[in-house]
Amino acid sequence: MVSVKVSAAKSTSLARDLPTFITFDKSAEEHTVRDLKKAITAKNPKASCFTFSIAPKSLTIYLQFHPSRQKLTLKGEKKALADNVTLKDAGVVDGSEVTVKDLGPQIGWRTTYLIEYAGPLVIHPLIYHFPKVFFGGAVQHSVLQKYVYGAVMLHFLKRELETLFVHRFSHGTMPFRNIFKNSAHYHILSGLFLAYSVYSPTFAANSPYIRGTIRENPNFLWACLGLFLFAELSNLKTHLTLSNLRSADSTKRAIPQGYGFSLVSYPNYFFETLAWTAIAVMTGSYAAWLFLVVGTFQMVVWALKKHKNYKKEFGKDYPANRKAMFPFIL
């Protein structure tokens, strides 16, 4: 048996009965930090979430004192206790005191991604099919515009399907307020800006920017589209590799191997950058280049941080010659 005192880091309306005691019948070796969080939720039994079912997945937005809202620390310490470790390994024994902090409303990562990628899937068809509304007149779409429209729709449809059927998430949720910041990147940059730029009369079939230029050349357009499709398929391949590293109910990490991973830790980011480079080169659009630069910068930041974590976690077992994102460079 183990009894743990739980106090609030600061008062929260969702857990008015703190401090309180949580008692388990089994030892600290047989219960995890996640079990303790669930017990705290049970002590505060308000409705904990809204769940929306989209077969075969359920999408959940947590609005009450769900375990995902809780940050547990040992009394007097700042380091958060990881969910999957046992109470004993976390330093929680009989008579210990932990503090719980309310992290605020949470939203599932799967839900977040679906919302982010849905933006361009709505914005691009609206601007492409209703030019009179946005440009004041009809637009005779060029081959370039048709290719870009198909490529963008394919890309974000792929991302939605990967979110539903491929991706596994180490962290179940994030703060709800972040959904607006995350969505802005896709809804504004690759949605509104890119669509308004590329489907405008500037890129139309009768535009001097297109007629008689390389952007009307079938070989150039097919080369760019071919590079885009190669990058998309390669990105999918790396996502499947990452997904197969662990089971759906596991957070255990392993060293990825196979296509792309022999050169870099995050070939999925590299191929993502390659795909959008193809769109930027094909169009020459300021919006395409802006989205490419912003997105690449963010992926480089993520790749360097995660690459460092890989090397720290696996030590000498991690391939020393791997770069973070760009083969032989970075």
pLDDT by residue (tens digit) across 89-115? 888 888 889 988 888 778 888 889 999
In the chain, % of residues over pLDDT 90: 58
List the structure tokens of 193.
Answer: 């800006």
Residues 29-55 have a mean pLDDT of: 73
Ramachandran angles phi, psi of 167, nearest 5°? -65, 145
Location of structure tokens 């309310």: 102
Stronger pLDDT, 8 or 262, i.e. the higher one: 262
The alpha helices in 44-177, defined as continuous H runs, are 109-129, 131-135, 143-165
List the structure tokens of 302.
Answer: 């993520």
pLDDT attached to residue 35: 87
Residues 67-76 have a mean pLDDT of: 85
Q: How far is CA 31 from the centre of its chain?
A: 30
> At residue 54, does pLDDT exceed 50?
yes
> At residue 139, does pLDDT exceed 60?
yes
Q: How far is CA 263 from the centre of its chain?
A: 23
Q: Which of 192, 185, 160 is nearest to 299 (CA)?
A: 185
> At residue 175, does pLDDT exceed 90?
no
pLDDT attached to residue 154: 98
Widest CA span of the chain, in angstroms?
81
Q: Which of 292, 294, 296, 295 is nearest to 330 (CA)?
A: 296
Asked, as a colleague might, if the bond just before 19 is cis with ω within 30 of 0, I would say yes
pLDDT attached to residue 181: 86
Distances 208 to 104, 135, 145, 177, 213 between C-alpha atoms, Å:
53, 17, 14, 44, 8
Distances 221 to 156, 184, 213 between C-alpha atoms, Å:
20, 29, 11
pLDDT attached to residue 329: 96
- Tell me the average pLDDT of the chain: 89
Ramachandran angles phi, psi of 50, nearest 5°? -110, 130
- Tens digits of per-residue pLDDT, 209-242? 999 999 999 999 999 999 999 999 999 999 999 9
Residue 84, CB-side half-sphere exposure with 13 Å CA sphere: 8
> At residue 189, does pLDDT exceed 90?
yes
In the chain, % of residues over pLDDT 70: 90
List the structure tokens of 117.
Answer: 């990628």
CB 273 within 8 A of CB 296: yes
Other Cβ atoms less than 10 A from the Cβ of 154: the count is 13
Q: What is the DSSP letter of 73?
A: E
Q: Can you tell me whether residue 156 is helix, strand or coil?
A: helix
CA dihedral 23, 27, 29, 33 (to 10 degrees): -10
Q: Would you place residue 48 in the very low, low, confident or very high pLDDT band (cuts 50, 70, 90)?
A: very low
Q: Which of 6, 38, 41 is nearest to 21 (CA)?
A: 6
- Tens digits of per-residue pLDDT, 272-317? 999 999 999 999 999 999 999 999 999 999 999 999 999 999 999 9
